[in-house]
Amino acid sequence: MFPIYEQKDGNGIGHHAESFITHFKRICAESAANNGTKAFAFILYNFEDHNLKTILKDHGVFTKLDRLSGKDLSLFYLHSGIRRTVINFNTELLSKLGVEEECRLPCVLFFKLEKEKIVNIEIAQLNCDDLIHSFQELYSVIEKYIARACNSDDDSSDGGSNFIQIFKSYAKTVSVEAVTEALQILLNTVFQIK
């Protein structure tokens, strides 16, 4: 799990704008070189989603989600204290992936990388109604995605009826280069807003 920080120094684990883009490009290149499918996820939230922001700041939660995602899933979230940064990041990322109309925040945005294309975009809506259940909901969504999409060749496995209600899939294909370029411009722009 990788937070994306505004400040250049970061807080130990995580990335600032430039290192995130470098890391993202490296993962994409490695996946393309190995003819493999790499899965990504972005945890997206409104600035007002205090429960989700609170649990993402917790070191124990971070560790559990990092261990869960392992090598099967590269999991990212934006760590920002500036409302406009969060709004711009969410808007631009969802727009570049073509799912801005379908997405309601907070959510986890999943996609796979195949031959330099972003495919199999899936959105898991989160309720995050209370602090106690927010972590369990987030953990469960990621766990179910990994079990179904990363660890098995059978994409027909739904993981139970609750899984079908949580996830919505979109048949869109987007070039990695276009998204990476957009993310680079976006991060360089939004992190300059103070």
- Pairing of β 38-44 and β 73-79: parallel
More reliable by pLDDT, 120 or 180: 120
| Number of helices and strands in the chain (H, E) | 7, 7
Instruction: Report pLDDT for 158.
Output: 45
* Cβ proximity of 177 and 129 under 8 Å: no
How far apart CA 14 and CA 3 sit, in angstroms, is 5
The residue type of 102 is E
Report CA-CA distances (Å) from 23 to 26, 46, 94, 117: 5, 25, 20, 17
Three-class secondary structure of residue 79 per DSSP: strand
More reliable by pLDDT, 177 or 9: 177
How far apart CA 14 and CA 94 sit, in angstroms, is 22
Q: What's the predicted TM-score (pTM) here?
A: 0.78
Lowest model confidence (mean pLDDT) among 37-41, 93-97, 142-146, 170-174: 170-174
- For the segment 53-63, the average pLDDT, to the nearest whole number, is 86
Listed by start position, the domains of the chain span 2-190
Name the CATH topology of 2-190: Glutaredoxin (3.40.30)
Instruction: Report pLDDT for 109.
Output: 92
Q: Residue by residue, what is the 3-state secondary structure of 12-72?
A: CCCECHHHHHHHHHHHHHHHHHCCCCEEEEEEECCCCCHHHHHHHHCHHHHHHHHHHHCCC
Q: Say what the alpha-carbon torsion angle 153, 154, 155, 156 is, to the nearest 10 degrees.
A: 180
Residue 113 host element (H or E) = strand 107-114
CA neighbor of 74 nearest in space, from 32, 5, 20: 20
The total of other beta-carbon atoms located within 10 Å of residue 45's CB is 21
CA neighbor of 139 nearest in space, from 66, 46, 47: 66
Instruction: Report pLDDT for 182.
Output: 66
More reliable by pLDDT, 102 or 8: 102
Lowest model confidence (mean pLDDT) among 5-19, 65-79, 128-142, 177-191: 5-19
pLDDT band at 68 (very low <50, low <70, confident <90, very high): very high
Mean pLDDT of the chain: 75
Instruction: Report pLDDT for 165.
Output: 43
